Each structure stands twice: as C-alpha cells, then as structure tokens.
Amino acid sequence: MRDRMRILIANRNFDRKGVVCGGEMSVRALGRSLRDMGHEIGILSVDDHTATRLHEPTGFMDFRVKTRNLYLDGDHPAAQRLLFHINDRFRHLMDDDYVRVLETFRPDVVNTNTLASLSLGVWRAAFRLGIPVVHTANDYYPVCTRSGMIRKDGTNCANVCRLCRIFARNRSLPLSRKVSHAIYVSEYMKSVIHDREGLFPDCAQSVVSRSYAPPDGLPARKGLLEPDRLNIGFIARLSPEKGLESLLGTLREFFPRSWRLHVAGNGNPDYVAHLKALARDLPVEFLGQQKPEDLYARVDVTVANALWNEPSGRTVMESILNGAVPIVTNRGGLFETAGNGAWGFCFEPERPRDLIQILNHIRQTPSVLDEKRLETPKARQLFDPTRIAERTLSAFEDAIQNNRSRV
C-alpha cells in the first residue's frame, strides 16, 4: 500500500466560467483517479479573482489565483502581447502568490501541466520551498510563446524561432534542470521538447498518455449507422488550426447526399459564422457545445483534421473507445494516439484527396470499421484511468525520492 500523498496539480484552467478544454478534462480525470486511490488533491489555476475553496463536484481543494498579468484570454494588440510575454517570462509577478498556496496546502509533489498565464513562477515557488516538481508536457509552452509552435497565419514552426528561443526556450532551460521528472503525453512531444530542444536534461523521462474510459463501457457497433449515408463527426474548438475550414472544402468533392457532417464545439462567433457560411449548401449540422459521448453515438467516424502538430489527441482517444473510428492527420502525436493506425486511419492534410480515398473506402466497404473496432479493447487497456494514474504516481514517487537524495 502506497503512502498517502498530498498532490498539487497546476493547470492554467480549472472550472473557469465559459472555458472548456481537453487539457482541463485530462487533469480532472487524473485527479479523480488519484483521489480514488486515497491521495489528497489540490488544483492550482489562474483566474480573474483569487479564491480558496473545496471544489464539491470533485472533492479537490481549489486554489485559484488572480492573474497579475495584463489579461487571461482574447486577441490583443501586438504591443500588449509583447508586454504580456515580458511579464510572463521575465518578471516574477505571481511567485509569492504561489508560495502562499504551497505553504497552505503543503504538497509532497507539484505536477505542472498547462503553464500559459500561470508562468514558470510555479516551478520557482516549488524550488524555493524544496518541493519536487513533475512537469507534464502537454503543450509547447517551455519552448514557444504561443504554446503551439504555430504562427499566426496558421503555418507550423519547423523549429523554435529566434523570438521564442529568447523569450521561452532559453528562459525555461535553466529552471528545467531542477525539475525532478518530465512526463510527455506522446513520444512526439518528447522528441521535440527533450530530444531536440534539450529541456529537462537532468531528470527521469516518461511517456504517459492521457486517460479516458467510456462511461457505459465499450459500445457494440457494427458497420454504418445508416446503410446509405456515412455520418462523420468533428469535435474541437472551432479555430483555424483545427482544420474544419479545409475539411469543408475537401468534403465538397465527396459524394453528394451520401454523407453528413456533425460539428460539435464553439469558437469565436465571427469565425463560427464564417464556417457556417462556407457550409450553407452542404449537409453539415453545427451542434455547438456537446457532451462528447453524444456526438460519438451519432457518427460512424470522426475526422481530426488538425493542421498543427497536436501533442496528442483527447478526442481521438474518446472516439476510439466510443466506437466512432477516427481519421487523423499525420500531425504531431495524433497518429500515435490512434495506435499508429491500429485503431484508425491517417492522411496527409496537404493531400486532401487522401482523405477522400479513405472516406470512399469506408463508404464502399463498411466492414473496415469493424476491423478497427476489434482492436479497441487494447486501446481501452492503454488509456485506462487507473493504469495512467499508477504510471503517473510512479513518476511522483520517483521525484520525491530523488528530491530527498538531493537534500
């Protein structure tokens, strides 16, 4: 029986009004699994106000700290963005706030996740108090000011640019030497953050996927939901890098009236209006924010048409385990999340006809979906929340042990 731990999980968002994202869902899932194993969980997040409370839906201690930077969200003029990044990367505006949280909760270990707006101040505060840090690299924050290694025009960064090297990578590297354990949500993320950019050079490394279990177990699915129509799902934040706009263009070349696209998610109202205008004469249904399982139940396949290098793919994982076979781009860790093709299909987004061929193949031979679904029990085991929590807990124990040996 493992000793009971006090674990503080730091993540940019936690139950913030109007904000829903995959990273927070993954943090919640991990926290619940660790709580169910008998550990005490605290969540540190940033908000527009400061509050400390028991989060009744989860039983976590909820520590939210008011940002001392210029803003939390939204699009802002270039001058404001520059000052935001100077504050975030060079000024220690919130370190004392984090020290107070740590002194209140007294965690055995701090697990940092999405750090944008929280800043590296969480690391500095933990190091000041001698608390070991385990960082979960689920975005590119340590090496990129935008956290996504994607330019404003939507093109991917092949390497860390000069500006991000000054503002992000070179600021993160010295502190990353003190991190006790680094977890990556995919092998792809490890290849970028550690192998190529050299962060976290002096600590143990683990690759641990995010977790998910379908609420009602693996569904019994066979073939298509409708014999004469392929129902396609798209679930994501509706922003340019997610690729819905290019997907709509590709689907125009598919058979008329032989498919329907179900779109779940919200985004900037102007951009959503633009997408709806593009889809006006197509069989596309915009559903808004949806419970993921409800979307998967009404589609045969999902398309993760990401144009950027997604670190992993929570919706891909969910789709697999709900019987909706994913079709993913070969960007970032998406193909890896789809079992390197065992549980889904993959295409190059710059060759849209590749996607058309996959959709045609599925439409003409629906049994290929059943072949993929036969492999989902292996995915269920891989993404099992208890298994993921156990592997994460091992990293925490390693960090605590190594921290003691340094003292």
Q: What is the CATH number of the domain that holds 152?
A: 3.40.50.2000
Q: Do 82 and 128 sit in the same domain of this protein?
A: yes
pLDDT, tens only, 226-241: 999 999 999 999 999 9
Q: Do 371 and 396 sit in the same domain of this protein?
A: no
Q: Do 47 and 160 sit in the same domain of this protein?
A: yes
Among the residue ranges 60-74, 93-107, 331-345, 380-394, the one predicted with the least confidence is 60-74
Determine, yes or no, domain membership for 223.
no
Q: Do 241 and 331 sit in the same domain of this protein?
A: yes
Residue 72 CA: distances (Å) to CA of 48, 84, 87 = 8, 10, 13
Determine, yes or no, domain membership for 222.
no
pLDDT, tens only, 2-17: 689 999 999 999 988 7
Query: In the prediction, which pLDDT does 1 show?
Result: 41
How wide is the angle at C-alpha 245 spanned by C-alphas 244 and 246, nearest 5°?
A: 90
Mean pLDDT of the chain: 93
Relative to beta strand 109-112, strand 181-184 is: unpaired
The answer to whether 261 and 282 are in contact (CB under 8 A) is yes
Q: Domain range for residue 361?
A: 230-382
Q: Do 93 and 133 sit in the same domain of this protein?
A: yes
Q: Do 176 and 320 sit in the same domain of this protein?
A: no
Within 10 Å of residue 194's Cβ, how many Cβ atoms?
A: 19
Q: Do 266 and 282 sit in the same domain of this protein?
A: yes
Q: Do 98 and 38 sit in the same domain of this protein?
A: yes
Q: Do 269 and 204 sit in the same domain of this protein?
A: no
Query: In the prediction, which pLDDT does 255 show?
Result: 66
Determine, yes or no, domain membership for 216.
no
Determine, yes or no, domain membership for 105.
yes
The answer to whether 89 and 146 are in contact (CB under 8 A) is no
Nearest CA to 8 out of 103, 72, 88 is that of: 103
* % the chain with pLDDT above 90: 86
- Give the C-alpha separation, 182 to 205, whole Å: 5
The answer to whether 121 and 127 are in contact (CB under 8 A) is no
Determine, yes or no, domain membership for 290.
yes
Q: Do 193 and 255 sit in the same domain of this protein?
A: no
- Give the C-alpha separation, 169 to 163, whole Å: 9
Element (H, E) at 231: strand 230-235
Q: Do 112 and 92 sit in the same domain of this protein?
A: yes
Mean pLDDT over 272-296 rounds to: 95
Query: In the prediction, which pLDDT does 223 show?
Result: 94
Determine, yes or no, domain membership for 402.
yes
Determine, yes or no, domain membership for 248.
yes
Q: If you ran DSSP here, which 8-state letter would residue 226 be given?
A: B
Query: In the prediction, which pLDDT does 367 show?
Result: 97
- Give the C-alpha separation, 319 to 336, whole Å: 14
pLDDT: which is higher, 244 or 407: 244
Domain count, the chain: 2
pLDDT, tens only, 144-183: 999 999 988 778 999 999 999 999 999 999 999 999 999 9
- Give the C-alpha separation, 79 to 87, whole Å: 12
Q: Do 195 and 277 sit in the same domain of this protein?
A: no
pLDDT band for 19, please (50, 70, 90 cuts).
low
- Give the C-alpha separation, 196 to 401, whole Å: 28
Determine, yes or no, domain membership for 191.
yes
The answer to whether 125 and 102 are in contact (CB under 8 A) is yes
Nearest CA to 373 out of 219, 268, 225 is that of: 219
Q: Is the pLDDT of residue 20 over 70?
A: no
* % the chain with pLDDT above 70: 97
